[in-house]
Structure 1
């Protein structure tokens, strides 16, 4: 028998977070600085909760609830200019709709990575003041 060589390649999953800063400017123009800050803080808290809920639904096999949670991520993300997060949440809903469990697992992992990075970036912006 021939020798079996195993080689494991670790893929670095590091992609840029897309954020539309014009949306923040629009919020400040509409609501004032403190109003925009309140909206952004509440949205970030809700995004963190929804990301956690989406993952929990996946683990528990509750795809209908998972789809609703991912759809809410889209709306909240768009409200504060987190276009990349909204796009990937949409990709998650498409995987659910197609019944593609393998793509769903990969896309959910991407959603969680981008969600974590997006939230961190937005909190940093909040720390610097709008």
Structure 2
């Protein structure tokens, strides 16, 4: 009975390569690579800004920022990140603090995995 097991949730990150592939087809590799890299950087900055808002308990504009994050993620084919950001927004709008905390933790895990694999996202589309 004294055995403690640490749970380490691992999120499976779903991606759709088609949005990035379309960017590459339409713009050509050099321009598309710059555009995708810039978009991923903006996505990472947006996520960092949202994290700072949550840490500061500044929830006034958070729903709008989460909607923006969802759109950015979907434009890059990061389907898991878009879906979970929408789930966080729903918890926020329902004022469900317990669900918000749980889904927020999941969003952090999904965002970390999505952004950490940004090179893989770019490579999938070529």
Q: TM-score per shorter chain, which class?
A: 0.7 to 0.9
Counterpart for residue 122 of structure 1: 118
Q: Structure 2 regions of 5+ residues with no counterpart?
A: none
Per-residue CA deviations over 1:11-58 (Å, capped at 9, x if unaligned) read: 221121111011221111122212221221111111111111111111
Could you say which residue in structure 2 is the equivalent of 1:65?
Answer: 61
**Secondary structure of 1:62 counterpart:** coil
Which residue among 12, 19, 22 is the counterpart of 2:18?
22
The match for 2:92 among 86, 91, 96 is 96
| More RCO (CA 8 Å, sep 6+) | 2
| Structure 1, gaps ≥5 residues long | none
Provide the residue aligned with 1:47 in structure 2: 43
CA RMSD, Structure 1 to Structure 2 (Å): 2.0
* 2:111 paired with 1:111: no
The structure that has the greater radius of gyration is 1
Task: With the length of structure 2 as denominator, give the TM-score of the two structures.
Answer: 0.88
Q: Which residue of 2 aligns with 1:84?
A: 80
